[in-house]
A and B are shown apart, each in its own frame.
Chain A
Amino acid sequence: MSFLIAESLDDALAAIAAGARPIAGGTDLVVGARHGKEALPDELVAIDRIDQLAEIGPGPGGIRIGALVTHATLMTDPLVVAEFTALADAAALVGSPSTRHVGTLGGNVMNASPAMDTGAPLMVLGAVADLQSVGGSRSVPLDELWTGPGTTSAQADELLIGVTLSSAPQRSGSAYVRLEYRRAMEIAVVGAAAAVTLGDDGTIAAAEVALSAVAPTVLLVEGVGDALVGRDPESAASAAAGLAGEQASPISDLRASDSYRRHCVGVMAKRAVVAAARRAAGEDIAVPVNRSIGIGAA
């Protein structure tokens, strides 16, 4: 095994071009290896000291959130909390304080678990993944990045340097809600994110909903815009619940049956739309929604 600590982005890109796997916080990679899920890669390059990847701020095409931003930062960063609230909701639910201080957004995205918490928020907020290699850079929409449980369309020599999001118009809000059996150290049984913009009359002007842990990848629900626009938030939320239940293709495992997941993801979608609409209307619902209005815990 070889282990290199990259001092710069160029160092890291060169190392992965030569075959090394990036490690950020290691909370998926090392924990998985110790579990025996997958052996530790032969060559690792630690990217956790590349400070430029830990920044949040204006980038080409929107606000760039660097791949090394930790969950602890996401849940408290004033810009993220104000503009991309669903992402802060999700980060605040990850593991425990140690997981949140060590675990990164980039690791969460590239680990590509369908149960990942930041995925559904990023999808409804229209984030794109910014990939870079020695050969160049490209941006990929998230539904093209995630190809299955634990797999992405990124090449082995591409590093995720961050995600780029656009600020939403006035009277917009977002929320992420997850069903959990306990309040910490939990994996989503199912989860749902919603982003909503309200019109002057208080009805829905635009909306997106995405789901976690009910399909091989995080799932952007189709037809949400058409079904929700023009409705008041309560009836829009019910419509979202129906679409979520129809489009989910959950599995049964020791945590929940497929039918329970299908039912509950509708409930979560409904609650996410309601919370997002309340935030869009200017209500201050503290991060994470799960704790502040008790809508995630079983």
Chain B
Amino acid sequence: MSESFDLEVNGVAYPVSVDQSRNLLSVIREEIGLTGTKEGCDDCECGACMVLLDGQPVNSCSYLAVQAQGRSITTVEGVMQGDEMHVLQRKLLEEGGVQCGFCTPGMIMSAHALLDRTANPTPEDVRIGLSGNLCRCTGYAKILAAVEHAAAELG
């Protein structure tokens, strides 16, 4: 059955009217039109679809859109500060932590959640924080370095 409700994404309330079985990922991409969030495995394994729900990471491929109403969703489009890149984005570019870029939005959202809850994360904290995200090209070392450097800059 189709249901109409608002989804709050990056501080904006978007009215949507979708089938109750629709996943959050497809609604964000196809109804709201924010395509930064990616579909990889569509099975909760790869983390390309990671968004924040009330500040905590969630695999949007396997979360029902209807269940996200009343919560605040953050996607990669919401991490820019005005025209400024978020420090995580900047460090990923500086370190070469982006190759094809497909995993990058999910990596950024997982790292964002980690840095929000952990000041001065250890390298082990960073590995655990990104453990739900797969990358098939960088070999991870540069992504981990970028997140560690971002954490250091945030202090």
What residues of chain A have their CB less than 8 Å away from a CB belonging to chain B? 1-3, 5, 23, 26-27, 30-31, 34-35, 40, 44, 46, 48-49, 72, 95-99, 101-102, 183-185
Contact = CB atoms under 8 A, between A and B. Distances in A.
B102 interface: no
Nearest to B132: A96
A1 B63 CA distance: 16
Contact of A184 (B19, B53, B62, B131): B131
B42 interface: yes
A34 B20 contact: no
- Complex A-B, nearest 9 residue pairs according to Cβ-Cβ distance, in ascending order: A96-B132, A184-B131, A98-B57, A101-B56, A3-B20, A31-B62, A96-B131, A3-B66, A30-B62
Contacts of B66: 3, 5, 46
Contacts of A3: 1, 3, 20, 64, 66-67
Given A30-B23, A99-B59, A184-B128, 8 more contacts: A1-B1, A2-B1, A3-B3, A5-B67, A96-B47, A99-B132, A102-B59, A185-B131
A36 to B, nearest CB: 11
A112 to B, nearest CB: 19
B21 A26 contact: no
Interface of B: 1, 3, 19-21, 23, 42-45, 47, 50, 53, 56-59, 61-64, 66-67, 69-70, 110, 113-114, 128-129, 131-133
Contacts of A99: 44, 59, 132
Name B's interface SS. mixed
Contact of A98 (B42, B58, B64, B69): B58
A38 B56 CA distance: 27
Contact of B57 (A1, A5, A97): A97
Contacts of B44: 27, 31, 99
B124 to A, nearest CB: 8
B131 A101 contact: no
Contact of B47 (A5, A98, A183): A98
B107 to A, nearest CB: 12
Given A34-B43, A99-B44, A102-B58, A1 B131 contact: no
A188 to B, nearest CB: 16
A181 to B, nearest CB: 14
B43 to A, nearest CB: 7
Contacts of B47: 96, 98
Nearest to A39: B21
